[in-house]
Structure formats: C-alpha cells, structure tokens
C-alpha cells in the first residue's frame, strides 16, 4: 500500500485500519478476495490529520469540544462551532487534487459521471480497532467533483456531531486521537437489494438467511418493507424456504434530480419473488467467501443490478450464542408446556430452588426451576442459563426480570417443580414456551422473529418515540444498546427489592439517609446512561406480598388480594414517611443535573390522588413545574374519567396494560389457570385506550404505553393508528416494535397521500 493521502480501496486491507478505519479496511479486504464490491477510494485518516494541522485549527477545534456534554444546549453549540471550523477550512491543495483525479478516474472506469456514496470510517490512533459505527454520517448519490469535495468535508465534519462528541466523552476517547477516513465508493443503482446472514443469526446453525426487496437496500435495513425471506442449508445448498412478502414501497434514485426517493412498487412486482434460485445460491456462495475471509459469520448488505450481484458491506454477526458441544439424546416431545416469557433456547442442568437458602445450588449455566421467582433470587437468575416456573403469566416477576437479563424463560408450567429433579438435563425454549428432557437440537428453526434479524442494522426513524422499560439497574447497558428514545418505565420497587433490607428497617435503624443514597445511586445508573433522553421514574408500586419477604418486612399487611390492595400511589399517600424519602431521592438527582427525569404515578383511580401526590411533592421541596409529571392508566376508572385527570394538570399518561387488562377483565394477571382469558386486545381494553388517547390528543397531553402489550408488534401497530405519542417496550422487543411502528407510520402516510390524490 502506498503512503498517499488518497488511495484506491483495492490497495488497502485489514492491516490498514489505522489508515482507512474499519469500514475502509473491510472493503479493501473484500476487493482483494475478488468479491464484487463497488470500486472507490479512501481519503485517509492521515489526510484528515493534515487537513486539521495545516489549517492550524487544531487548538481552536479541540478547545471548542471541552464542554459539559451533559448539557444538551452547550453540546449543540459545541457541535455548531466545531463543524463550522471544519467546513470553513481548506483541504490541502495536493489532497484536493488527488481526490479530484481519483474521482475522474472512477468516472472513466464507470464510463460516465459517477454517482458515489461518501461514507465515514473512523479510527482511533491508539486503539485502531475501536468501534465508532453509526456515530458519523454517510452521504448518498453524490455526483460531480465539487460535490464530492464538499461531501468529504461534510463527512469529516460529522466527526463533531453532538452524538459523536457525547459518545467519545462518555467512552473516554480523546477527541484529538480520533481521525476519520472518508470512503468514496460508486453507488449501485440497485434494482433489488437486501441483507444476508451467512449463518443463522441467533443459533449459528449452518443456514444462510437472505432478506430482499425491490430498489435500494435501505428499505430492508430500516424495516420499511416486509422483505422476501429465503433460507438455504449451507451444506446441501438446498433452498429450504422462499417466503414472498407483499412489498409496497421501494427506495430508488430519481432520474431527474439524482436524489433518493420512495415510490410505490408497481402492481406486477408487489407480490413477485425478488430473487430467483440462481441469485439465491450465488449470494450464499458470496456469503461463504466473506465468512471464510473473516473467519466468523457475517451480516452482509448486497445489491443486484442488471443481474450483477454487489457486496456493499459486511460485519460480524454479534448475536450468535456459543453453542455447547452436547451429544445427549435428542428429545422429541415436550415434557412441560407453559408461556414463552423470554425468547431463546438453552440447555443445562435443572436446579430446583424453593427459597433463598438454596440459591447457591445454581451455578453458571444451570437452569433455575422454582414455583415462582422472587426479587431476592435475582443473583441466581443472573447465573442461570434459563428459568422455568410453575406459576405466573407474562408480566410476573420471572418474566420481567428474565427478559431484562436476556435469559430464556418459560413460566406457568404448573408442574415444573413436581416433574423435574435436581440434575435433570433439560432444554428450555423460551420462544415457544416448551421444556424438553435432554438436548433438543433446534436443527433448522423456523423463520426467526424480526427482532433477531434486525440486530446490527441501522434503526429506522419513527415519529412515534420508541422507548424501553427498565426494572433492574443491571439491565441498563442492554437497554441503552437498544438505542431507545428514552425509558418509558423505570420500576423503582425492583431496585428497592434488591436491597438487603426493607425500607422500614433502614428508617428504624436511623439510616434513612443511607436508604435515600441507595435509591439515588440505582436510579442515577439509568438516568445517567440515557441522558439526555427522558427517563420516566415511577414512584413506588410495591406489592405487599413481595415486600413482606424482605428483612424487616414483617409489618407489611397480609391482604386477601394484594393486587387490589395496598400498592401504587394509594400506599405512598398513606405511608408518607416513605414517599418523603422517594421525593428526597428525586430532589438529589435534580440537584445533580438530571433534568431528563420525569415522574410517573402508578395505580391512580381518582384525580384527587394526582392532586395530593403533586401537593405532597411540591410541599416537600420538589419543583414539579420543571419536570414532566404523569400518571399510569391502569384502572378502568382512570381511563373513563381521564378528562378530569387532564383538568388536574399532567404532562403525560402511560397505559399500564398489565393491570388495565386484569382489572377490566377480572382476570388475575399472575394466575395461570385463567391465562387464556387474559387479552390486552379485548375490545373493552382497546376501547378504554382509544378513549384516553383521543381525549389526551385533544388536550395536548402525551400518551404512552409501558405494559407488556407495548412489546407486541400487533398491539403497537394498533396504538400508532390510534395516535399514541410513544411506546415503551421490553429490551428484547424494542427492535421488532420499532420496525412495526416505522412500517405502520409509512402505511398511514401512503394511505393519506392516496386519499388526497383520489
């Protein structure tokens, strides 16, 4: 490879990450392996460095980035200043000349003035393989020398976008040590395109999965269309599945302006197969070459034009779980059936836990089996490969926590503790809700859910905000990785239940301050990780039966029906000694600068509860006018008189459908005997939701959902159609919900456009 500032992609390879960043090196490597990668050149990280140095802007630039990134306004100003410095600086003459001449040569190779994509490929001087994926911008369909020069500068400037600055500061990267190579690559004006997983993305089986749609691949990557779906057995090269979807829209280049536009798919192509068998098998071959090249399964973006296949990008699939080599007998029929509460398949040794004294039995990789899990079991749940319970529905403790931990779970099997003995080897299928004896080889699984396929793709932008639910601080990182627009429910009782003793015990021992500090530090983990995105912290919603099990919890009242009892805001308004400690924690977080926190009040049934809660917070020194205050709509009464709550003054409401469903239908959410009657889609539940959204939209109050139903794409679709402002889903469901919301929004826009026309 030469030392030039601008070099052809074919001149670089994996050893050149420090010069052309990860993306540039990967493209070069694939060209060397004779894969059909569109040609192009790289304006190197060193060229960028010279640009900074020779313009003498280094001091001014890096000084302008020394700001408090936690202040959104200051951060935006820093972005503006830094980008201005870059855009006003001149590219050194020899580098500019070289870019022009390489572009001219590219046009010559193409036989016309070429459209190119200018992509960013960042690299850190001391940590060349650090990942900055998705932090900087890409510019598509650029044509003409001047525009290419302009796009390279804009690409460099994107190194100082607010998100990128924030990310580097939080990750501890020195701005001055991160450089950016701009990759200039011929655009493929794709007739069809999509993604390919060279091996199964969740199990690693030797099955290639291909998704494809008409036009540019963007529609598939962003989830804007349901793509065709093909699977191929890599060994026999047998095409196992060809699922043809209805494809309504396609991204394509406007022949007049050269801009990327959306057009409806012509009628004849809507339900037509995108790929023929030859193309499918050719793609599989390329997938194998890429996989061999990198030595690991790959997530590949591809495009086809005039029957030519192009490989646009490849990166490792990060979701495959290491498979244990197990030779045990393959079970054929399920031993137990329950509710699939957290997806995934795990194999391991059953360990029965009847109470906290037996937690030590559960070693890493074992399967925790219990009548029902309790919060003090969380440490063992973290070690478990899967969880199986006798009792519970999809919103019970085991279900919520296992989803946050990303641990497969089957709940409500009724007799797991009876049928399973310590040491039995079992396979748990958390998707289908089945438990098998021995090793159940998942062989070739059916089409994996959209959620698994969409990992590692860029996320579609949705007008409806997509948020995430968090209950235990340990799940924060996984929650952040969903790239959600905030936290729509932070359940603080799970945090309290994780403490060594009951809050009353702290108070009794004169350690209220210690308790408040514990609360602050746990909530801070989440509000800090999401800053500046909003986090709605819910005041205590403690079920007495769960709190009684804690040290010092003997005083919890024994109730005939805890679900209808002393919980939610009614409890806080009676036990004001505790409510006051919560308020102290909120005040401390605000004092520490967390202006992204909102407060959500659970289980309200009368507007007076909202009024009293607000008065209490205000009289205890919390400036509630500066933060968002909202209620959960969990009781039909609250839904029916939502106008009166609005009149009381509130910023948002959030549907707690777990409770709203149980109270509307008289079906205990944790009772597996009546689980078949529990449906969030019951017309009565939907009618209440629709009424609340209509009234809130009229009054300009935000609406959201944080119950489990928000994690079901089909419910999300309905809510978007009803006009909800945001949806908060479980960590594992955010991707699928976001895809469905994007698709639904697009369908609504198309429908409106057609109606206007016709």
Report how far residue 186's alpha carbon sits from residue 116's, in angstroms, rounded to the nearest whole number.
4
Assess 572 for contact with ligand PEP (CB under 6 A). no
The rounded radius of gyration (Å) of the Cα atoms in the chain is 28
Structure-token pair, residue 164: 């990128």
Choice between 279 and 659, CB closer to Mg ion: 659
Q: How far is the CB of 74 from ligand PEP (least distance, A)?
A: 35
Size of the site for ligand PEP (CB under 6 A): 11
Options 121, 203, 454, 657; binder of ligand PEP; rule CB under 6 A: 657
H or E element that contains 717: helix 713-722
Choice between 567 and 614, CB closer to Mg ion: 567
Phi, then psi, of 335 in degrees rounded to 5: -85, -35
Report how far residue 347's alpha carbon sits from residue 325's, in angstroms, rounded to the nearest whole number.
11
Report how far residue 449's alpha carbon sits from residue 432's, in angstroms, rounded to the nearest whole number.
12
Assess 215 for contact with ligand PEP (CB under 6 A). no
Q: How far is the CB of 491 from ligand PEP (least distance, A)?
A: 5
Q: Which stretch binds ligand PEP (CB under 6 A): 61-69, 655-663, 719-727, 732-740?
A: 655-663
Q: How far is the CB of 201 from Mg ion (least distance, A)?
A: 34
Place of tokens 């958390």: 430
Place of tokens 């469905």: 740
Choice between 314 and 658, CB closer to ligand PEP: 658
Site string for ligand PEP, 530-549 (x = CB under 6 A): -----------x--------
Report how far residue 285's alpha carbon sits from residue 234's, in angstroms, rounded to the nearest whole number.
9
Site for Mg ion in 645-674 (CB under 5 A): 656, 659
Q: Which stretch binds ligand PEP (CB under 6 A): 10-18, 228-236, 353-361, 653-661?
A: 653-661
Report how far residue 734's alpha carbon sits from residue 468's, in angstroms, rounded to the nearest whole number.
7
Choice between 96 and 732, CB closer to ligand PEP: 732
Q: How far is the CB of 216 from ligand PEP (least distance, A)?
A: 39
Report how far residue 451's alpha carbon sits from residue 59's, in angstroms, rounded to the nearest whole number.
45
Pairing of strands 597-601, 535-538: parallel
Residue 77 CB coordination number (10 Å): 14
Report how far residue 410's alpha carbon sits from residue 46's, in angstroms, rounded to the nearest whole number.
54
Residues 6 or more apart whose CB falls under 8 angstroms from that of 729 comprise 466, 467, 468, 469, 484, 710, 711, 716, 737
Q: How far is the CB of 473 from ligand PEP (least distance, A)?
A: 16
What residue 657 binds from Mg ion, ligand PEP, none (CB within 5 to 8 A, per partner kind)?
A: ligand PEP
Q: How far is the CB of 404 from ligand PEP (least distance, A)?
A: 13
Strand positions, DSSP E, 19-97: 40-43
Q: Which stretch binds Mg ion (CB under 5 A): 70-78, 267-275, 627-635, 674-682?
A: 627-635
What residue 711 binds from Mg ion, ligand PEP, none (CB within 5 to 8 A, per partner kind)?
A: none
What residue 607 binds from Mg ion, ligand PEP, none (CB within 5 to 8 A, per partner kind)?
A: none
Using omega within 30 degrees of 0 as the cis cutoff, is the peptide bond preceding 150 cis?
A: no
Strand positions, DSSP E, 206-335: 207-214, 228-233, 238-243, 249-253, 260-264, 298-305, 308-316
Size of the site for Mg ion (CB under 5 A): 3
Report how far residue 468's alpha carbon sits from residue 488's, in angstroms, rounded to the nearest whole number.
6
Q: Which stretch binds ligand PEP (CB under 6 A): 11-19, 185-193, 381-389, 650-658?
A: 650-658
Q: Which residues are catalytic?
A: 397, 706
Assess 706 for contact with ligand PEP (CB under 6 A). yes
Q: How far is the CB of 744 from ligand PEP (least distance, A)?
A: 22
Q: How far is CA 243 from CA 227, 277, 298, 451, in A?
A: 9, 13, 22, 17
H or E element that contains 739: helix 734-757
Choice between 317 and 597, CB closer to ligand PEP: 597
Structure-token pair, residue 253: 């280049």
Choice between 528 and 634, CB closer to Mg ion: 634
Angle between helices 72-88 and 145-157 (to 10 degrees): 150
What residue 503 binds from ligand PEP, Mg ion, none (CB within 5 to 8 A, per partner kind)?
A: none
Choice between 162 and 519, CB closer to ligand PEP: 519
Q: How far is the CB of 392 from ligand PEP (least distance, A)?
A: 12
Rounded to the nearest 10°, the torsion over CA 393, 396, 401, 406 is: 10
Q: How far is the CB of 89 from ligand PEP (least distance, A)?
A: 51
What residue 491 binds from ligand PEP, Mg ion, none (CB within 5 to 8 A, per partner kind)?
A: ligand PEP
Q: Which stretch binds ligand PEP (CB under 6 A): 212-220, 232-240, 451-459, 654-662?
A: 654-662
CB 428 within 8 A of CB 336: no
Choice between 22 and 707, CB closer to ligand PEP: 707
Site for ligand PEP in 491-530 (CB under 6 A): 491
Q: Find the length of the chain.
A: 758
Choice between 427 and 657, CB closer to ligand PEP: 657
Choice between 149 and 631, CB closer to Mg ion: 631
Assess 634 for contact with ligand PEP (CB under 6 A). yes
Assess 489 for contact with ligand PEP (CB under 6 A). yes
CB 475 within 8 A of CB 484: no
Q: How far is the CB of 471 from ligand PEP (least distance, A)?
A: 8
Site for ligand PEP in 381-440 (CB under 6 A): 395
Report how far residue 480's alpha carbon sits from residue 731's, in angstroms, rounded to the nearest whole number.
9
Site for ligand PEP in 64-83 (CB under 6 A): none
Burial class of residue 337, CB neighbours in 10 A (0-12, 13-18, 19+): middle
Options 427, 596, 658, 704; binder of ligand PEP; rule CB under 6 A: 658
Report which of 727, 537, 23, 630 is spatially closest to residue 314, judged by C-alpha positions: 23
Residues at the site binding ligand PEP, with contacts judged by CB under 6 A = 395, 489, 491, 541, 634, 656-659, 706-707
- List residues near Mg ion by CB under 5 A: 634, 656, 659
């Amino acid at each position: 490879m030469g030392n030039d500032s601008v070099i052809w992609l074919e001149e670089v390879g994996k050893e050149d990450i420090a010069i052309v960043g990860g993306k540039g090196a990967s493209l070069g490597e694939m060209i060397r392996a004779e894969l059909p990668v569109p040609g192009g050149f790289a304006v190197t990280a060193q060229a960028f460095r010279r640009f900074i140095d020779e313009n003498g802007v280094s001091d001014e630039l890096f000084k302008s980035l020394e700001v408090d990134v936690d202040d959104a306004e200051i951060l935006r100003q820093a972005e503006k200043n830094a980008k201005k410095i870059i855009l006003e600086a001149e590219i050194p003459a020899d580098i500019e000349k070289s870019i022009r001449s390489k572009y001219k040569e590219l046009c010559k190779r193409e036989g016309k003035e070429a459209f190119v994509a200018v992509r960013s490929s960042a690299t850190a001087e001391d940590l060349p393989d650090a990942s900055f994926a998705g932090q900087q911008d890409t510019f598509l369909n650029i044509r003409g020398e001047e525009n290419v020069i302009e796009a390279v500068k804009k690409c460099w400037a994107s190194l100082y976008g607010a998100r990128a600055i924030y990310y580097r500061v939080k990750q501890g990267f020195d701005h001055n040590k991160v450089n950016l190579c701009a990759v200039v690559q011929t655009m493929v004006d794709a007739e069809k395109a999509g993604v390919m997983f060279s091996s199964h993305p969740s199990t690693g089986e030797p099955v290639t999965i291909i998704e494809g749609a008409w036009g540019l691949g963007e529609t598939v990557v962003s989830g804007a269309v349901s793509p065709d779906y093909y699977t191929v057995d890599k060994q026999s090269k047998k095409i196992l599945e060809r699922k043809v979807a209805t494809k309504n829209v396609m991204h394509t280049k406007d022949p007049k302006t050269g801009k990327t536009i959306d057009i409806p798919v012509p009628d004849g192509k809507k339900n037509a197969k995108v790929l023929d068998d030859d193309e499918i098998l050719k793609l599989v071959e390329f997938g194998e070459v890429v996989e061999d090249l990198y030595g690991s399964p790959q997530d590949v973006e591809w495009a086809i034009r005039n029957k030519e296949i192009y490989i646009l990008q490849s990166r490792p699939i990060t979701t495959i779980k290491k498979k244990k080599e197990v030779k045990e007998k393959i079970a054929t029929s399920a031993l137990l059936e329950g509710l699939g509460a957290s997806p995934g398949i795990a194999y391991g040794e059953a360990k029965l836990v009847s109470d906290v004294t037996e937690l030590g039995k559960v070693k890493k990789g074992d399967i925790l089996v219990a009548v029902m899990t309790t919060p003090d079991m969380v440490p063992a749940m973290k070690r478990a490969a899967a969880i199986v319970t006798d009792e519970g529905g999809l919103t019970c403790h085991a279900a919520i926590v296992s989803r946050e931990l990303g641990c497969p779970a089957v709940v409500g099997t009724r007799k797991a503790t009876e049928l399973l003995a310590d040491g039995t080897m079992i396979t748990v299928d958390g998707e289908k809700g089945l438990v098998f004896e021995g090793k159940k080889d998942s062989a070739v699984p059916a089409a994996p859910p959209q959620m698994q396929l969409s990992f590692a793709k860029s996320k579609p932008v949705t007008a409806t905000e997509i948020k995430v639910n968090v209950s235990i601080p340990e799940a924060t990182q996984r929650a952040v990785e969903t790239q959600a627009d905030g936290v729509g429910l932070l359940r603080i009782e799970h945090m309290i239940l994780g403490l060594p003793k009951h809050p009353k015990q702290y108070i009794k021992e004169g350690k209220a301050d210690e308790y408040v500090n514990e609360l602050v530090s746990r909530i801070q983990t989440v509000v800090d990780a999401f800053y500046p995105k909003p986090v709605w912290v819910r005041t205590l919603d403690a079920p007495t039966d769960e709190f009684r099990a804690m040290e010092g919890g003997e005083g919890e009242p024994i109730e005939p029906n805890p679900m209808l009892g002393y919980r939610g805001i009614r409890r806080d308004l009676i036990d004001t000694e505790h409510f006051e400690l919560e308020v102290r924690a909120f005040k401390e977080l605000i004092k520490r600068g967390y202006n992204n926190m909102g407060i959500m009040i659970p289980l309200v049934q009368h507007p007076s509860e909202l009024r009293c809660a607000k008065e209490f917070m205000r009289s205890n020194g919390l400036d509630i006018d500066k933060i968002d205050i909202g209620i959960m709509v969990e009781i039909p009464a609250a839904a029916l008189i939502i106008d009166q709550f609005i009149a009381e003054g509130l910023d948002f409401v959030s549907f707690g459908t777990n409770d709203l469903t149980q109270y509307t239908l008289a079906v205990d959410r944790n009772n597996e005997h009546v689980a078949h009657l529990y449906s969030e889609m019951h017309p009565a539940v939907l009618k209440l939701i629709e009424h609340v959204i209509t009234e809130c939209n009229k009054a300009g109050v935000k609406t959201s959902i944080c119950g489990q139903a928000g994690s079901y794409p089909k419910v999300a679709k309905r809510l978007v159609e009803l006009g909800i402002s945001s949806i908060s889903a479980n960590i594992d469901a955010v991707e699928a919900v976001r895809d469905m919301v994007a698709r639904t929004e697009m369908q609504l826009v198309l429908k409106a456009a057609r109606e206007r026309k016709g």
